[in-house]
């Protein structure tokens, strides 16, 4: 699943004039791609080694506001540079942008040339290193959902983000006729991504009007996170080029279904053998898989912040919506927060259903690995399987209901601090607290509608 373009191929295509632009990008705290567009000739001649960016890119909110209070950077420290080091294994063409290639970068401290520990890609790499030390490799896939709208981004902005029209008029879950109406966009997305080296499996209508899902082949965790970021950016760009808008908000309207990002995960040995599978164990779930899942459950509160990072994320968790409310495990049960799928096969795995489409894939996967590894290291026993309707289960482990609760759980998590380091956890806890603080100062449409005349 890495990129589909070698450096020598890029140099040749630059010389012949079929590629003239190289996008050099990092995933930021929100999982967005940030970076520069290079003339391909300059990139091939020198910029392939490194370039630089302001270190505020890992210390801003969604509005690119320079949030105060970060230990890593500040006005007092002058907002200096990070070094962007292109990972040439991620180099790929982007067929939806003429003459353009894309490469993802790792970040280094400009002065000491060491990896930036709170950079999302590095956060995940650190957990993968811990797994590798145990002779294990993380395999993952993300099922990414989003809404498609008839209007363009500019039209919506001009209307103040009101009166948005989903591209379809009714629930289109698995609906072939309705998705045929959207095929002009979705076909361009599938083919564009495939042309960029992303092994797209399928797209499908999801559980509400205008909602789509795109699925990409299971792969190792870093490739999956990189691909997720490329997919999300590509979907926005291709929609924009067709005069449409899309949204990856966890809950764009209280009247609509939420958009999730189900995270599938398993382990492989150094030789690629599935470690979660044991043909002689109940449901094919090995002792390793059971302890891993036990870790995910024990530390479910601790890791929720990295699956649901915004105030809006928690609007998605509602009974009867296919979004979970309970952090329990069950086999092939979509009411549970953690669903075991592929039972009794080599593909047996855990599907974490907690995450929304707004998550940062690097941080979400890293947190899942940290919790799963804790389950292995602590030799945890897996609790009994939940059966039935988890929405109505009294006394079952609840998913945190608010960003405040999830932030507090991450902040006090000894497991996360031991796995990722205090500096990383403090950085993302600070980001979450700012998100909550900023929201708390804003007057919402709900308040105006309810109180303007009636108060």
Write the pLDDT tens digit of every residue in 253-282: 999 999 999 999 999 998 999 999 999 999
* CA–centroid distance for 112 within its chain: 29
Give mean pLDDT, residues 154-180. Answer: 91
* CA–centroid distance for 315 within its chain: 18
Pair 106, 157 in one domain: no
Which pLDDT does position 323 carry in this prediction?
94
pLDDT greater than 70 at residue 453: yes
Pair 97, 132 in one domain: no
Query: Residue 148: which H helix or E strand, with range?
Result: strand 136-149
Whole-number percent of the chain with pLDDT over 90: 92
User: CB under 8 Å to 15, separation ≥6 — which residues?
Assistant: none
Pair 16, 141 in one domain: no
Contact 72, 423 (CB under 8 A): yes
User: CB under 8 Å to 107, separation ≥6 — which residues?
Assistant: 26, 53, 58, 82, 83, 84, 85, 115, 116, 119, 121, 122
Pair 286, 421 in one domain: yes
Look at residues 78, 95, 115 and tell me which one is the last residue of a structural domain. Answer: 115
- In-domain check, residue 2: no
Contact 192, 96 (CB under 8 A): yes
Contact 116, 109 (CB under 8 A): yes
φ, ψ of residue 247 in degrees (nearest 5): -135, 135
Who wins on pLDDT, 454 or 93? 93
Look at residues 115, 146, 178 and tell me which one is the last residue of a structural domain. Answer: 115
**Residue 53: which pLDDT band, with cuts at 50, 70 and 90?**
very high
CATH code of the domain in which 133 resides: 3.30.590.10
Report how far residue 201's alpha carbon sits from residue 125's, in angstroms, rounded to the nearest whole number. Answer: 26
Which pLDDT does position 436 carry in this prediction?
97
- In-domain check, residue 140: yes
Pair 320, 415 in one domain: yes
Q: Is the four-CA dihedral 366, 368, 370, 373 of positive or negative sign?
A: negative
Write the pLDDT tens digit of every residue in 360-408: 999 999 999 999 999 999 999 999 999 999 999 999 999 999 999 999 9
- In-domain check, residue 121: no
Pair 83, 207 in one domain: no
Look at residues 93, 115, 137 and tell me which one is the last residue of a structural domain. Answer: 115
Pair 183, 64 in one domain: no
Let me know how long the chain is.
455
3-state secondary structure 12-57: HHHHHCCCCEEEEEEECCCCCEEEEEEEHHHHHHHHCCCEEEEHHH
Which pLDDT does position 42 carry in this prediction?
97
CATH code of the domain in which 82 resides: 3.10.20.70
Write the pLDDT tens digit of every residue in 71-92: 999 898 889 999 999 999 999 9
pLDDT greater than 90 at residue 311: yes
Among 416, 412, 406, CA closest to 436: 406
Domain that holds residue 38: 7-115
Which pLDDT does position 207 carry in this prediction?
86
- In-domain check, residue 274: yes
Which pLDDT does position 3 carry in this prediction?
85
Write the pLDDT tens digit of every residue in 409-429: 999 999 999 999 999 999 999
pLDDT greater than 60 at residue 1: no
pLDDT greater than 90 at residue 2: no
Which pLDDT does position 326 carry in this prediction?
96
Pair 203, 260 in one domain: yes
Total domains in the chain come to: 2
Label residue 114 exposed, middle or buried (CB < 10 Å: 0-12, 13-18, 19+). exposed
Report how far residue 27's alpha carbon sits from residue 129's, in angstroms, rounded to the nearest whole number. Answer: 20
Q: What is the pTM of this model?
A: 0.97
- In-domain check, residue 56: yes
Per the listing, tokens 């979970």 go with 324
Pair 96, 170 in one domain: no
Q: Is the four-CA dihedral 145, 363, 341, 390 of positive or negative sign?
A: negative
Give mean pLDDT, residues 119-129. Answer: 98
Pair 246, 297 in one domain: yes
Per the DSSP assignment, residues forming a β-bridge with 137 are: 268
**Residue 173: which pLDDT band, with cuts at 50, 70 and 90?**
confident
Average pLDDT of the chain, as a whole number: 96
Pair 216, 351 in one domain: yes
Pair 172, 204 in one domain: yes
Write the pLDDT tens digit of every residue in 208-235: 999 999 999 999 999 999 999 999 999 9
φ, ψ of residue 435 in degrees (nearest 5): -55, -45
Write the pLDDT tens digit of every residue in 176-197: 998 999 999 999 999 999 999 9
pLDDT greater than 80 at residue 108: yes
Per the DSSP assignment, residues forming a β-bridge with 111 are: none
Give mean pLDDT, residues 128-138. Answer: 97
- In-domain check, residue 455: no
């Amino acid at each position: 699943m890495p990129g589909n373009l070698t450096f020598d191929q890029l140099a040749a295509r630059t010389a012949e004039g079929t590629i003239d632009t190289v996008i050099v990008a990092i995933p930021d705290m929100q999982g967005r791609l940030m970076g520069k567009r290079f003339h391909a000739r300059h990139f091939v001649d020198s910029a392939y080694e490194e370039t630089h960016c302001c270190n505020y890119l890992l210390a801003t909110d969604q509005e690119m506001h320079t949030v105060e209070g970060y230990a890593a950077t500040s006005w007092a420290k002058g907002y200096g540079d990070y070094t962007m080091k292109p990972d040439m294994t991620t180099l790929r063409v982007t067929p939806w942008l003429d003459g353009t290639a894309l490469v993802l970068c790792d970040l280094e401290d400009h002065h000491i040339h060491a990896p930036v520990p709170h950079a999302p890609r590095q956060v995940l790499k650190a957990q993968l290193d811990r797994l590798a030390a145990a002779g294990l490799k993380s395999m993952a896939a993300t099922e990414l959902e989003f809404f498609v709208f008839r209007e363009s981004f500019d039209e919506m902005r001009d209307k103040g983000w009101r009166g948005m029209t989903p591209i379809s008029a009714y629930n289109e879950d698995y609906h072939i006729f309705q998705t045929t109406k959207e095929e002009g966009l979705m076909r361009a997305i599938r083919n564009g991504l495939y042309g960029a080296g992303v092994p797209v499996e399928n797209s499908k209508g999801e559980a509400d009007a205008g909602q789509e899902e795109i699925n990409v082949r299971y792969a190792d965790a870093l490739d999956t996170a990189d691909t997720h970021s490329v997919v999300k950016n590509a979907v926005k760009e291709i929609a924009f080029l067709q005069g449409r808008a899309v949204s990856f908000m966890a809950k764009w309207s209280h009247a609509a279904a939420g958009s999730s990002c189900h995270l599938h995960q398993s382990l492989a040995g150094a030789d690629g053998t599935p470690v979660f599978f044991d043909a002689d164990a109940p449901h094919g779930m090995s002792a390793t898989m059971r302890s891993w899942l036990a870790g995910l459950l024990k530390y479910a509160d601790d890791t929720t912040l990295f699956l649901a990072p915004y105030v809006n994320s928690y609007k998605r968790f509602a009974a009867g919506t296919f979004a979970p409310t309970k952090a329990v495990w069950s086999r092939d049960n979509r009411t549970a927060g953690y669903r075991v799928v592929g039972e009794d096969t080599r593909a047996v795995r855990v599907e974490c259903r907690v995450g929304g489409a707004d998550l940062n894939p690097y941080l979400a996967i890293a947190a899942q690995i940290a919790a799963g590894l804790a389950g292995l290291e602590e030799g945890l026993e897996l609790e009994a399987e939940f059966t039935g309707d988890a929405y109505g289960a009294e006394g079952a482990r609840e998913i945190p209901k608010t960003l405040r609760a999830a932030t507090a759980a991450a902040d006090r998590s000894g497991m996360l601090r031991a796995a990722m380091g205090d500096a990383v956890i403090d950085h993302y806890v600070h980001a979450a607290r700012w998100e909550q603080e900023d929201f708390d100062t804003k007057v919402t449409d709900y308040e105006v509608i309810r109180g303007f005349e009636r108060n």
